Amino acid sequence: MKSTTIKTAIIALTALTGSVSAEITSSYKNQKAAWDQHLSMRQNTPFHGVTWRNVGPIFQGGRAVDVIRPTDQPHVIYVAYASGGVWKSTNNGQTFTPMTDDLPSQVVGSLVIDPNDSNTLWLGTGENNSSRSSYGGMGVYQSKDGGETWAFKGLGDTDRIGRIVVDPKDSNRIYVAALGKLYSKGGDRGLYRSTDGGDTWDTLIEGKKYTGFIDLAMSPNGDLYASAWDRSRKAWDFQEGGEGSALYKSSDNGDSWQKLTNGLPYGEYMGRMGITTSISNPDVVYVSIDNQTPLPESEWDMGSSAVTAKRLKNMDKAEFLTQDKKAVESFLRSNNFPPETKANDIIEKIKNDEMTPADLVDQLADGNNNLFNVDIKSLEIYRSDDAGASFKRTHKEDLQGVVFSYGYYFGQVKVDPQNEDIVYATGVPFIKSTDGGKTWASAWSSKMHADLQAIWINPQHSNHIMVGNDGGVDESYDGGQTWNKIDQQPVGQFYTVAVDMETPYNIYGGLQDNGTLKGSSQNDWTQGESWERIFGGDGMHVNVDDTEKLTYVGFQFGNSFRLGSAAPKKITPPNYVGEESLRKNWNTPVMMSTHNHDILYFAGHKMYRSMNKGDDWTEISGDLTESEKRGDVPFATITSVSESPLKFGLIWAGTDDGLVWVTEDGGNKWRKVSKQLPKHRWVSRIIASPHKEKRAWLAMNGYRQDDIQPYLYRTDNLGKSWKKMSKGLPNETINVVKEDPKNEDMVYVGTDKGIYVSMNKGDSWNMLGDGLPTVPVHDLIVHPRENELVIGTHGRSVYVADVAPLQNKTEQVKDNELFIFPVDEIKESRSWDSKPFTWEYTDNKSKTETIYLWSETSGEAEISITDASDSTIYQAQTTLKKGFNQWHWDYKIDEALAIAAEAAALEKNKASEADDEGDNDSDKESQAINKSNIPYAESKRLGHPPYIEPGKYHLIIKQGDEQHSVDFSVK
């Protein structure tokens, strides 16, 4: 077996060497350079004063790909999310804290605890799932302090880690199964071993072309088992298995390996494999296999109805004419034929030989149905009782309805540590066998989320199990009979966000695996506040009609619905007999017109328009795609649509095969404007400017070519020419670009690692804030009234930031070395006059006023507040960084200064009222102050801090020779 030592310079984070295809631009060397630029922009951004607040949601959880617990720390739980990083609980799941926010990748493939040291963790980045939004990573990391700090440990070009195993006999011996890149072949993929704690790595089995390694398991006797997976994905096709998929064994710590073949179904349909070994009987090995072998037609699931697409393909005229009319009508309605297409009409046409039964389905294609209605062997469980020398399928009957056509998404099997005959396997449901895999039953609850990703079994109490799924984490203490959900983390994977005009406004969004959710913009997830689910499926585009109280939502592959006071109504454009079914993207664009909320646009491979809220549709374009590549993934579709808010009928469209179109007359004539642009790059966003009619912004995405370059362009002449605008941005794939609605100089860009802003129409870029974790930003919107920027992240739910000060960064600001942005009127709180409760919980957050400041230089500054008579009542020092700053004020003033100011004001008033009533006796004066019920002295007498009183004030900032002030009032 080939063995190649890969040297890793830990401190310098030197890139790994390897044979990487020339077309791949996201090698570790390039990713590391991009990350260095990212860090530099984070540290040096002038907009460090922008604060992000996470508003949730939390209840839905997110794709949890690993859940582990140290045996000697019973209250500690670690959960690893696909793109939300690693979270830790030290109180048995009551609360969780993120542990990897500052790593260059929060995308997780594997997380393990060193069996010899429960404070040592190994993290493999890059998700081992191979779905549409599964991201690559940047190698392996180690923490020696329970996740508080992390050190890079190499394998940076492996891209996606399937599994890490630490030898319980030697913590310096670590094994890594690496999948390699998803969309391109070559690179570093294979099976790796380190014998020096990750300082160097040996290549034990080298992956080839698209074959990498997905799983690893070590038997108590030291035997190692590793599964290779031959899989490749294109934008239009996914090969879920291949000849390279195989199971290997080593009995000498990985020095040599043998391919295990006896009893396993090798061949072109061999897909993902999961492995587990028995602690109670080391010779027992279970393997779960995603077997993509097509079933013979005699074994097809034809459906419960007499008229289904599968039956119609081989149904002749005579048989069709015997079918019940209701069954035909049910088929038409469930397959989205237009209402005017009636069963009687179809029956009559087939009777008169005007069409055949097959004509009903020849052009019918539904990406969502194709996920479930594919007849293959699917999930199989194999068992060896002789340490892998031979395997037998444990079950006679096929395990249909567990993983459907996408077994590549699961692949976990675990055996009870105390009983080799109790075994669990993951799929859409969670299943369990108590007889060695012969029979299976559900270990799933209706309260649990579907799509199981990870299993943890308590080695000391095996009825205590935890699972990770696409909705977070669930826990059972009775072997899967009952379950508790323990999600308290904002780890939602958003595709889109939208807002309404309520007070306070609500945020809407479509999430991977978790439907469409709605929640208040004032939500505080740390207090357990969350959102409500308003629709199911994989949530996609959302449009809110505030005037009609309607919401347009949808799920994968263009299944769109209108929500209102009545029952949800499906509004997807229908299928017409004899016409090609509309090709619809996973995230199909649906857009409500900004000019008339009754008008909707829907984009498949053609554009449609509805003038009546989706009840009827008119085709307003031909096929706007060019690619003829077809596979099992819908492709050659429109991916982004934008209507100019300045001109009705000016519409832009971008496609997944790299085309951009514009029409100026509502679709009568379309002009292709992408000749100057890069070829074959997915249009992630085309957006019409809200300020200039002929301007549009374009982001293209190389994710599906394993390309991380930022493709960003602007046109100022309706696409006749394009200007590249990505200069200054790091190499991070761009998902969204938008102009600010108030300030045309401001442009926002969301990438796979964060968010950036330009204050000069894209000529230069800065990171927006420095408190956002490393997470993909998929969508963003600025609330038109509140001037808050809302971003939907794919892994950490929704963040909100106040951008009003930036919108108002006028020439006046630029001309000042020091500047205080206007302060809104402050409203007095009743709690200010109340003495605080002695035993109040100390972690309660005090409400503060955020004051925004701009400074051209870094350094110390003095902040003071004076009252209407120019007496100083507050004074404090603060440190400003160059750029945009925040100062947080708790509304309290200086007690001594305030009382002195009150006394001076009182003396002045007394002197002006009556000279002859003056009394200079100090005791009488003090008594007069306390009896006068003046606020600051009264606060001191009552024993609570002095808060600012209603009135007019000046806020002053001084830094060196510079000074600036603003007026504000308290109501």
Among 231-240, 382-391, 941-950, which is the least confidently predicted range? 941-950
Does the pLDDT at position 7 exceed 70?
Answer: no
Q: Which residue has the tokens 């002295």?
A: 937
Average pLDDT of every residue of the chain: 91
Token pair of 446 as six digits: 């209706």
> In the prediction, which pLDDT does 17 show?
28
What are the strands of the beta sheet with 140-143, ordered from one edge? 108-114, 117-125, 140-143, 151-152
What confidence tens digit (pLDDT) does each residue in 657-689 have?
999 999 999 999 999 999 999 999 999 999 999
CA–CA distance from 820 to each of 288, 539, 743, 802, 962 (Å)? Answer: 63, 42, 19, 15, 12
Does the pLDDT at position 309 exceed 90?
Answer: no
Confidence of residue 339 (pLDDT cuts 50, 70, 90): confident
Q: Strand locations in 868-961, DSSP E?
A: 872-880, 883-889, 951-959
| 818 three-state secondary structure | strand
Confidence of residue 18 (pLDDT cuts 50, 70, 90): very low
CA neighbor of 701 nearest in space, from 677, 685, 718, 719: 685
How many Å apart are CA 891 and CA 889, to the nearest integer?
6
Across the range 605-616, mean pLDDT stands at 97
* Helix, strand, coil distribution of the chain in percent, nearest 5: 10, 35, 55
> In the prediction, which pLDDT does 304 show?
79
> In the prediction, which pLDDT does 855 show?
94
Across the range 578-599, mean pLDDT stands at 93
How many Å apart are CA 3 and CA 309, to the nearest integer?
52
Q: Between β-strands 607-610 and 618-619, what pairing exists: parallel, antiparallel or unpaired?
A: antiparallel
Across the range 519-542, mean pLDDT stands at 94
| 453 three-state secondary structure | strand
> In the prediction, which pLDDT does 297 show?
83
Question: What is the helix (H) or strand (E) element at residue 909, kind and residue range?
Answer: helix 895-913
> In the prediction, which pLDDT does 11 show?
29
What confidence tens digit (pLDDT) does each residue in 178-223 have?
999 999 998 899 999 999 999 999 999 999 999 999 999 999 999 9
Burial class (CB in 10 A: 0-12, 13-18, 19+), 281: middle
CA neighbor of 51 nearest in space, from 860, 879, 852, 955: 852
CA neighbor of 959 nearest in space, from 811, 856, 851, 815: 856
> In the prediction, which pLDDT does 811 show?
66
CA–CA distance from 663 to each of 600, 607, 668, 694 (Å)? Answer: 16, 11, 7, 12
Tally of CB atoms within 10 A around 397:
8
Does the pLDDT at position 273 exceed 60?
Answer: yes
Hey, what amino acid is at 816?
N
Confidence of residue 298 (pLDDT cuts 50, 70, 90): confident
Across the range 487-497, mean pLDDT stands at 95
Range with top average pLDDT, 143-152, 312-321, 768-777? 143-152
Please, what is the angle between helix 935-942 and helix 895-913, to 10°? 130
Across the range 477-490, mean pLDDT stands at 94
What are the strands of the beta sheet with 246-250, ordered from one edge? 211-218, 224-230, 246-250, 258-260
> In the prediction, which pLDDT does 246 show?
98
Confidence of residue 359 (pLDDT cuts 50, 70, 90): confident
> In the prediction, which pLDDT does 255 show?
97
> In the prediction, which pLDDT does 829 show?
86
Token pair of 931 as six digits: 């009896």
Report cis status (omega within 30 of 0) of the bond before 504: yes
What confidence tens digit (pLDDT) does each residue in 798-829 have?
999 999 999 987 766 777 899 999 998 999 88
The answer to whether the CB of 666 falls within 8 A of the CB of 609 is: yes
> In the prediction, which pLDDT does 638 show?
98
Does the pLDDT at position 961 exceed 70?
Answer: yes
Confidence of residue 372 (pLDDT cuts 50, 70, 90): low
> In the prediction, which pLDDT does 230 show?
97
What confidence tens digit (pLDDT) does each residue in 911-954 have?
666 554 545 554 444 444 443 446 777 766 666 678 898 999 99
> In the prediction, which pLDDT does 842 show?
56
> In the prediction, which pLDDT does 43 show?
94
How many Å apart are CA 678 and CA 711, to the nearest integer?
8
State pTM to two decimals: 0.92
Hey, what amino acid is at 534?
I
What confidence tens digit (pLDDT) does each residue in 421-471 have?
999 999 999 999 999 999 999 999 988 999 999 999 999 999 999 999 999
Does the pLDDT at position 562 exceed 90?
Answer: yes
**Cα dihedral angle (788, 794, 797, 802), rounded to 10 degrees?**
-20
Hey, what amino acid is at 254?
G
Does the pLDDT at position 13 exceed 80?
Answer: no
Across the range 40-58, mean pLDDT stands at 95
> In the prediction, which pLDDT does 910 show?
73
> In the prediction, which pLDDT does 929 show?
40
Percentage of the residues of the chain whose pLDDT score is greater than 70: 92
Q: Check residues 78 and 301 and name the one with the higher pLDDT.
A: 78
Across the range 370-379, mean pLDDT stands at 78
| 718 three-state secondary structure | coil
> In the prediction, which pLDDT does 486 show?
92
What confidence tens digit (pLDDT) does each residue in 837-852 have?
667 665 555 688 999 9
Q: Residue 824: CB partners within 8 Å, gap ≥ 6?
A: 968
CA neighbor of 311 nearest in space, from 343, 264, 279, 357: 357
> In the prediction, which pLDDT does 917 show?
54
Complete DSSP assignment for 134-168: PPP---EEEESSTTSS-EE-S-TT---EEEEEE-T
Confidence of residue 617 (pLDDT cuts 50, 70, 90): very high
Does the pLDDT at position 786 exceed 80?
Answer: yes
Confidence of residue 578 (pLDDT cuts 50, 70, 90): confident
Confidence of residue 651 (pLDDT cuts 50, 70, 90): very high
